[in-house]
Amino acid sequence: MKIERLTLHGFKSFADRVELHFDRGISGVIGPNGSGKSNVVEAIRFVMGSRARALRAREAEALIFHGGDGRKPMPFAEVELVLRDGRERYVVSRRIDRSGDQDVRLNGKRATFRQIERVLAGTGLGKNAHALVGQGEVAGILESSPDALLERLEDAAGLRVVTLALRETRQRLERAARHLETLREQHAGRLAEKARLTAEAEEARRAEALARERLAVQRGLFRARRRALEEEIGRLKRRLEELEEARVEAEKERLAAQGRGESLERERSAVGEAFARVQARHAALESERGFLERERLQLRSTLERLAAERSRLDEEAARLAQLKPPEPPTPPGPEAERERLLAEDEELAREVRRAEEAVRAAEQAYAQQQRAFREYREVLARYEAARDAHALARKERERWERVLAEAERDLKEARTARDEAAAQDAELRAALAELQERAGRLRAELEAARREADRLEKLVAGGSDLAEGPRRLARWRPAGMLGVVADLLEVPPGLEAAAEAALGARIQWVLMEDERSLREAVARLKREGGRATLLARDLARPRTGDLGPWLGREGVVGAARELFAIRGERKLTDALFGDTLVVEDLDVALALAREKRRVRMVTLAGEVVEPLGSVSGGRAGRGGGARLELRGRLRRIKGERDEAEAELRRSEARIAEIEAARAALELGRLDERLRRLHAERDAAARALERLPEPAAPPEPPEPVAEPDAGPLEAARRRLEVLGVRRAELEERLEAWKEHDRAVVNHRLAQERYEERQERLAALRGRAEGLDRERGRLEERLGEVEVRLGELAREQEALGLEDLRGRVNALEAEAREAKARQQAWLERLAAVAGETEEARLLLARREATLEEVLREGSELPPGEHVEGSVRKLQLRLREIERELEGLGPVNHRAAQALEQLQAELGEVERALAEAEEAAQRLTLETEELREAYDRQLQEAFVRFRERFAYYGRALLGGLADVKLDEEGLHLVVQPQGKRTRDLRLLSTGEKTMGALGFLFALAEVGEGSLPIAVLDEVDAPLDESNILRFVGFLRDFARQRQFILVTHQKRTMEACDVLWGVTNRGGASLVYSLRREEAGS
The pLDDT score that the predictor gives to residue 624 is 43
Asked if 688 and 404 touch (Cβ cutoff 8 Å), the reply is: yes
Q: Is 32 annotated as a binding residue?
A: yes
1058 pairs with which residues across the strands?
28, 1073
The pLDDT score that the predictor gives to residue 435 is 84
Looking at the chain, the number of H-run helices and the number of E-run strands are: 23, 24
Residues lower than pLDDT 70 in the chain: 121-130, 136, 139, 160-161, 164, 319-326, 385, 455-465, 596-597, 619-632, 691-692, 694-695, 748-763, 978-981, 1005-1009, 1074-1080
The CA–CA distances, whole Å, from 169 to 166, 921, 925 equal 5, 7, 6
Asked if 421 and 665 touch (Cβ cutoff 8 Å), the reply is: yes
| CATH 3.40.50.300 residue window(s) in the chain | 1-131+1018-1080
- Helix segments in 36-159, DSSP class H: 37-47, 113-119, 146-156
CA distance 65 to 205: 77
Q: Is 33 annotated as a binding residue?
A: yes
Identify the helix (H) or strand (E) that includes residue 1071.
strand 1067-1073
CATH number for 466-621 (one of 3.30.420.140, 3.30.1490.20, 3.30.70.1620, 3.60.20.10): it is: 3.30.70.1620
Q: Provide the pairing of β-strand 601-603 with 581-583.
A: parallel
Instruction: Count CB neighbours of 87 within 10 A.
Output: 5
CA distance 314 to 307: 10
CA distance 190 to 901: 9
Q: Is 36 annotated as a binding residue?
A: yes
What is the chain's Cα-based Rg?
Answer: 72
Per DSSP, 797 falls in state H
- Which of 1066, 1060, 1074 is CA-nearest to residue 37? 1060
- Which of 563, 465, 449 is CA-nearest to residue 507? 465
- Which of 968, 967, 959, 965 is CA-nearest to residue 999? 959
Long-range contacts from 63-69, C-beta under 8 angstroms, 24+ separation: 63/11, 63/12, 63/96, 64/10, 64/11, 64/12, 64/96, 64/97, 64/98, 65/10, 65/11, 65/12, 65/13, 65/14, 65/15, 65/1067, 67/1066, 68/15, 68/1065, 68/1066, 68/1067, 69/1065, 69/1066
CA of residue 860 relative to chain centroid, distance: 37
Residue 66: which residues within 8 A CB-CB, separation 6 or more?
Answer: 73
pTM: 0.37
Instruction: Concatenate the DSSP letters of all residues of 237-294 into one string.
Output: HHHHHHHHHHHHHHHHHHHHHHHHHHHHHHHHHHHHHHHHHHHHHHHHHHHHHHHHHH
- Which of 494, 503, 598, 586 is CA-nearest to residue 550? 598
SS3 882: helix
Over residues 1019-1051, the pLDDT tens digits come to 888 888 888 888 877 877 777 788 888 888 888
Q: Is 37 annotated as a binding residue?
A: yes
| CATH 3.30.70.1620 residue window(s) in the chain | 466-621
Q: Provide the pairing of β-strand 1057-1064 with 601-603.
A: unpaired
Q: Is 890 annotated as a binding residue?
A: no
Per DSSP, 71 falls in state B
The pLDDT score that the predictor gives to residue 129 is 58
CA distance 267 to 607: 137
The pLDDT score that the predictor gives to residue 761 is 66
- Which of 1055, 1004, 1046 is CA-nearest to residue 1021? 1046
Architecture of domain 1-131+1018-1080: 3-Layer(aba) Sandwich (3.40)
CA distance 97 to 447: 51
SS3 123: coil
CA distance 1043 to 1010: 11
Q: Is 745 annotated as a binding residue?
A: no
